[in-house]
Amino acid sequence: MTKEDNLDLVHKMYAALNSQDLDKHDEYWAEDMIWHGPPGFGDIFGREAFKYEVLEPFYKTFPDYNVENEIEVADENWVAATGILTGTHQGEWLGIPATGKPVTMRFSDFWMVRDGKLVENWVMVDNLAVLHQIGACSLDWIFVDEIKRSEENKKTFKSVINKDGSAAKNLDLVKKMCDALVAPEHDLEAQKEFWKEDMIWHGPPGFGEIHSIEGFLREELSVFYEAFPDFNGDFEIFFANENWVAATGFVTGTHKGDWLGIPATGKPMKMRYSDIWLIRDGKLSENWVMLDHLGVLKQIGIDPYSNNL
C-alpha cells in the first residue's frame, strides 16, 4: 500500500463515520482490529465491538456528529491526523447528562494499516475542553475558537506542496529536538537549532497558540520545566514523510510547580501526548499538540469537575 492508498482508505472510513452507517465499516477495518480509546476509555478488541460499543453509543450522545481532518500525515504503514468533531450533547458523556449544548471536540488519530485494512487505532480527544463547553469544569481556561483554527489549519495543510524533503532527515530532526528537550540541563537556547524563528505552536485547547520561538521558549517550555522539572518522554509511534512528522507516546514528571493554575502537589504523572510537526527548509515550522490534561488532573489529585483537591 502507498501512502496515497492509506489516506484514501481513511477518507472512505470517515465518510462512513459521518453517514453513521455501521455496516459500511466492515469494508475498512480488519475483523480483529484494536481501538485504543482516549485515556480513560480503555481498549476495544474486534470490529463488531468497535461498532456497537464505541460508535453506536457515540452517535446516541452526539446524533448530529460530524468529523473532519485538518492535518494528515501518511506513509506506507501509518496515517495520523488531527481535526475537529462537532455535535450537540444529547446523551451522557463523561458521566454528565445531556445538556443540549453544542460541542467542538479536537482529536488526534493514529492508524496502522495492513493488507489494505485499518488494524489498530490510537485516539486522543480533548475531553477537558468538552467539559468546559458543557459547563462541567471550573478550571481557568483560554478560549480557542476551534472552528476558526480549523479553517486556518486546513489552509496550512493545502499550502504544503513541496515534496522534495526527506522522511529520514525529518525524523532525525525531531529526534534530536526531543533529545534536547528532555536533557537534564533544560537548555532553552538549544531548541533554537531546530525551530524556525517564526515557528507556530498550536497548543491544546486552553493553551492557545504561540507565534515565534522566543515566545514558545518563554511562555510554554520554561513554564512546563518549572511545573515538571524531571520531565521525560518517549515515542510509541513515530513516522514521517517529506514534509511532516507524527508521534504519540507518553511524558512523565513530578508536579513540583504551578500548572494550569494548580500549585505543586509533588505527585508523579504520566501523560499521553500527540504531536504533528511541519518541516520547512530543514527546520520545524509548526507544531500541533494534544495532551491528556484530564488524566493528569486525576493523577495529581484534582477533581476536574469541581476543581477541588
Question: Residue 135: how many CB atoms within 10 A of its CB?
Answer: 11
pLDDT(128) > 90? no
Q: What is the mean pLDDT of residues 111-132?
A: 94
Q: pLDDT tens digits, residue range 186-204? A: 999 999 999 999 999 998 8
pTM: 0.93
pLDDT at position 112 is 98
* Block residue for cell numbers 458523556: 93
CATH 3.10.450.50 fits 3-143, yes or no: yes
pLDDT of residue 105: 92
Within 8 A by CB and 6+ apart from 185, the residues are none
How high is the pLDDT of residue 286? 97
* DSSP annotation string for 138-205: -S------HHHHHHHHHHHHHH-------HHHHHHHHHHHHHHHH-TT--GGGGGGTEEEEEEEEPPT
pLDDT value at 137 more than 70: yes
Give start-end residues of each CATH 3.10.450.50 domain in the chain.
3-143, 167-299
Looking at residue 221, the DSSP 8-state letter turns out to be: I
Q: How far apart are CA 124 and CA 66, in angstroms?
A: 16
Task: Kindly tell me if the per-residue pLDDT of 309 is higher than 50.
Answer: no
Give the distance, in angstroms, between the CA of residue 51 and the centroid of all CA atoms in the same chain: 22
Report whether pLDDT(308) > 50.
Answer: no
More confident residue, 294 or 109: 109
pLDDT in tens, 8-50: 999 999 999 999 999 999 999 999 999 999 877 899 999 999 9
Residue 307 has pLDDT above 60, yes or no: no
Do 208 and 142 form a contact (C-beta atoms < 8 A)? yes
Residue 59 has pLDDT above 90, yes or no: yes
> pLDDT tens, 225-283?
999 999 999 999 999 999 999 999 999 999 999 988 889 999 999 999 999 999 999 99
Distances (CA, A) of 143 to 96, 148, 192, 203, 207: 21, 12, 29, 12, 8
The correct answer on CATH 1.10.1740.10 for the domain covering 167-299 is no
pLDDT on residue 306: 55
